Amino acid sequence: MLQLTPHHRLLLAVNPVDFRKGIDSLIALCQQYLNEDAYSGTIFVFTNKRRIAVKLLVYDGQGFWLCMKRFSQGQLKWWPKADTRTYTLNAQALQVLLYQGHPQRAAMSDDWKPVVAQ
């Protein structure tokens, strides 16, 4: 089971991805285009051009998880602009995004003491 925790590193791939891509193609995209190690435990978040679905890719030490959510109605209300290849966010903001909310407008309290992964 994939569980988001405050110490997970979360990266959104800003540019849309062809959702016909599977695990191997997304790993290559992470390593070649995003310049990130796909085996690092980072949770990579992708969307398609119409922003009606998201995919999450993460390596758990034994293999890769690829999760997809297609919205039954509407599309993402927010996605970062394309001035960078990636955008970092926290677990709370990702949950807001997955519920088609706007993470930058959500009234979330700051972490009292940030969790640091070692």
- Interacting residues of 109 by C-beta distance below 8 A, sequence separation 6+: none
> What does the DSSP assignment read for 85-102?
SEEEE-HHHHHHHHTT--
- Each domain of the chain, given as residue ranges in start order, spans 10-105
Mean pLDDT: which of 1-5, 85-89, 91-95 is highest? 85-89
Q: What is the pTM of this model?
A: 0.86
Over residues 29-75, the pLDDT tens digits come to 999 999 999 999 999 999 999 999 999 999 999 999 999 999 999 99
pLDDT at 106: 73
If you ran DSSP here, which 8-state letter would residue 41 be given? Answer: S
Contact 49, 68 (CB under 8 A): no
Banded model confidence at residue 112, pLDDT cuts 50, 70, 90: low
